[in-house]
Amino acid sequence: MNARAATPASLVLSAVVVLAAGCSGDGVREVSATTSSSDSAPASFQVEEMGQFDDPWAMAFLPGGDLLVTERTGTLNLRDADTGDSVEVGGVPDVAAEGQGGLGDVVLAPTFAEDQMVYLSWVEEGEGGSGAVVGRATLETGDEPTLEGLEVIWRQAPKVSGTGHFSHRIAFDPEGEHLFVSSGDRQKKTPAQDTSNSLGTIMRMGLDGSSPQIWSYGHRNPLGLEFAPDGNLWSSEMGPEGGDELNLIEQDANYGWPEVSNGSDYGGGEIPDHAPGDGFVAPEAFWTPSISPGSLLIYSGDLFPEWEGDALIGALSGEALVHVDLDGTTAGETQTFEMGERIRAVEQGPDGAIWLLEDGGSGQLLKLTPEAS
């Protein structure tokens, strides 16, 4: 397989826009924007603060607009679309909330309209250390919402020591027939090149966890996983010092970690860059210095028609929302909107608005809509 040339998305031209914000009466939120093309003007949008959560990690909208939000420490919240009030959902499993571990992703099943099934990922302790888990349950709503019949359908293997690089993002293929799970290298590096285990991989399996198989490998910490409307699977991945990646995921492909990276190892150790003919798949876009991509959305709404089919990445250390133009299997120009806080999650609302979760103690839930003309 041939490596692809990638343009460093950190080489940008500076432009600044001021975006109106309904920030609880605090007035205007200033958002600096950069773009990789001098011919492209940054989009503009309004930012509204819609709530606050404790160390949130992921979110998923129900068909009526209510919102599920996970908190890493082990709480699943259900936010009412009309009142903005949130209640805790019962029946959530015990989680190992240490380091990067805890309660992770939440995604509605393709069959949610018929069976109210939701999928969760979290971290558990066990023999050998800790590991990521994926389970599914029926969401019972009402005054006291709860998860019923929770069952574990996949476990990261092997369990190892340490509290980092679980990844555990969840995605379903467009046909709703297969479940995909990102599985980080657990900061162990070399297992990512060993297909006898599931560390450093993206896994594919049936909706019930049956017939699990390694779909791709050589990954470090893929914290974003999303199918585009055209059926292509994309993943955003944290590199070491530099070399954060946006990858087009192909079956049986090797993405090179830790043999190659467009970043450097911590402490100054050098890693060979991706190069044509090295046998590894290079990223479609990469970032040096790091932006720490923590999530990925492929936009399909109507409110931002110029972004339809494009990637939106939540940047942690970059404290930004990053837009990457996608054209089929190719990543083009980028726009970076400096949000001033670590962005953990990006999701699309039922009306096409873009929702963000700020990371850590601040935990603001933000709603982005087009700026009024």
pLDDT on residue 29: 58
The full set of domains in the chain, from first to last, is 13-370 (2.120.10.30)
Spot the catalytic one: 165, 219, 274, 323: 165
Using the predicted structure, report yes or no on whether residue 21 has a pLDDT greater than 80: no
Query: What is the DSSP secondary-structure string of 272-285?
Result: PPP-TTSSSPPPSE
pLDDT on residue 2: 32
Using the predicted structure, report yes or no on whether residue 17 has a pLDDT greater than 60: no
Other CB atoms within 10 A of residue 204 CB: 20
H or E element in which residue 335 lies: strand 330-338
Determine the average pLDDT of the residues in 245-255. Answer: 98
pLDDT on residue 34: 79
pLDDT on residue 44: 78
Using the predicted structure, report yes or no on whether residue 213 has a pLDDT greater than 70: yes
What radius of gyration, in Å, describes the C-alpha atoms of the chain?
19
pLDDT on residue 243: 97
Question: Is the Cβ–Cβ distance between 243 and 255 less than 8 Å?
Answer: no
Using the predicted structure, report yes or no on whether residue 285 has a pLDDT greater than 60: yes
Task: Return the percentage of the chain with pLDDT > 70, whole number.
Answer: 90
Residues in the chain: 373
pLDDT on residue 373: 58
At 245, give phi and psi (nearest 5°): -130, 150
* 139 strand-pairing partners: 147
Does residue 165 have an active-site annotation?
A: yes
CA 74-79-81 angle, 5° bins: 165
> Could you give the CA distance from residue 102 to residue 106 in angstroms, rounded to a whole number?
12
Using the predicted structure, report yes or no on whether residue 22 has a pLDDT greater than 90: no
pLDDT on residue 4: 34
Query: Could you read off the pLDDT of 302-337 as tens digits, one per residue?
Result: 999 999 999 999 999 999 999 999 999 999 999 999
Query: Could you read off the pLDDT of 134-171 as tens digits, one per residue?
Result: 999 999 998 999 999 999 999 999 999 999 999 999 99
pLDDT on residue 38: 53
Cβ-Cβ contacts under 8 Å for 279 (sequence gap 6 or more): 1, 3, 254
**Sign of torsion, CA 250 216 280 6?**
positive
> Could you give the CA distance from residue 126 to residue 149 in angstroms, rounded to a whole number?
22
> Could you give the CA distance from residue 164 to residue 162 in angstroms, rounded to a whole number?
6
Question: Is the Cβ–Cβ distance between 293 and 244 less than 8 Å?
Answer: yes
Which two tokens mark 158? 């092997």
> Could you give the CA distance from residue 111 to residue 139 in angstroms, rounded to a whole number?
12
Residue 32: band (very low, low, confident or very high) from pLDDT cuts 50, 70, 90 = low
Query: Could you read off the pLDDT of 76-98 as tens digits, one per residue?
Result: 999 999 999 999 999 999 999 99
Mean pLDDT of the chain, nearest integer: 91
